[in-house]
Amino acid sequence: MHIGMLGTMAQMYSSDLGEKTKRGQLGRALKGKIPGGGAYGYDVLPAGADGAGERSINAAEAAVVVRIHQLFAAGDSPRAIAKQLNAEDVRGPGGREWRDTTIRGQVDRGTGILNNALYVGRIEWNRCSYVKDPRTGKKVARPNPPEQWEIVPVPELRIVSDELWDAVKARQAEVRIIMTRDADGNSLNTAHRRASTSNIPTCRTIRSSPRPTPQ
């Protein structure tokens, strides 16, 4: 009983701490401050009187961000862009090499260089909820509906123009449509049908002759 009570109290404490953390992040977002970690293209400023969350544009990294958007809008794939940047020894986030996933990210979750709305001067908070998978015990991200997002304009942090951002979004939508269709333009989930059984040769059943009855 004692162990069970301690486990219950620990779970309640963890849940309460998570709610307090979420409220604190919401408060920073509503003040126009970055509620999460660092983002490529920005420098973290020392905490001021209003707390942490202030950012300033890193000119060198911002130029890379604009270049990535321009290359993708012009038709280059994230893999080709990453390969080109690595060949030029341009360091990615955290000083690491570029990977296509770092650039591509996930549109629904707003991750990746091509999907970070901060580059167009918007903080989009609460795009995802993190829930524990009962099968693995690990937390997984689940996109929230847009009506649950908190969007705060931060024009002083804009790096990418609206025109370039819209061009990237248009190409992402085009690529998504192409990836979900085959060479004939058919939807992939309807293009694969079971082969007709009329062309499949049937197997004859070979009956063995009856064994002779022992005398």
Higher-confidence position of 139 and 19: 139
Q: What are residue 131's phi and psi, to 5 degrees? A: -120, 155
pLDDT surpasses 60 at 117: yes
What pLDDT, on the 0 to 100 scale, is given for residue 72? 97
Q: If we measure between CA atoms, which residue out of 118, 65, 59 comes closest to residue 93?
A: 65
- Given pLDDT bands bounded at 50, 70 and 90, which one contains residue 180? low
pLDDT surpasses 50 at 198: no
pTM of the model: 0.65
CA distances in angstroms from 161 to 40, 179, 213, listed in the order given: 17, 27, 93
- Given pLDDT bands bounded at 50, 70 and 90, which one contains residue 191? very low
Task: Show the domains of the chain with their CATH numbers.
Answer: 26-44+53-124+151-186 (3.90.1750.20)
Pair of tokens at residue 46? 């020392």
SS3 label, residue 126: coil
> How far apart, in whole angstroms, are the C-alpha atoms of residue 65 and residue 114?
9
Higher-confidence position of 41 and 191: 41
What pLDDT, on the 0 to 100 scale, is given for residue 179? 58
What pLDDT, on the 0 to 100 scale, is given for residue 71? 97
pLDDT surpasses 60 at 13: no
Q: If we measure between CA atoms, which residue out of 124, 128, 115 comes closest to residue 173?
A: 115
List all residues 6 or more positions away from 113 whose beta carbon is below 8 Å from its beta carbon. Answer: 40, 65, 68, 69, 102, 103, 105, 119
Q: At what angle do helices 59-73 and 162-179 cross, to 10 degrees?
A: 50
Q: At what angle do helices 78-87 and 59-73 cross, to 10 degrees?
A: 140
Among 119-123, 158-162, 188-192, the range scoring the smallest mean pLDDT is 188-192
Higher-confidence position of 178 and 39: 39
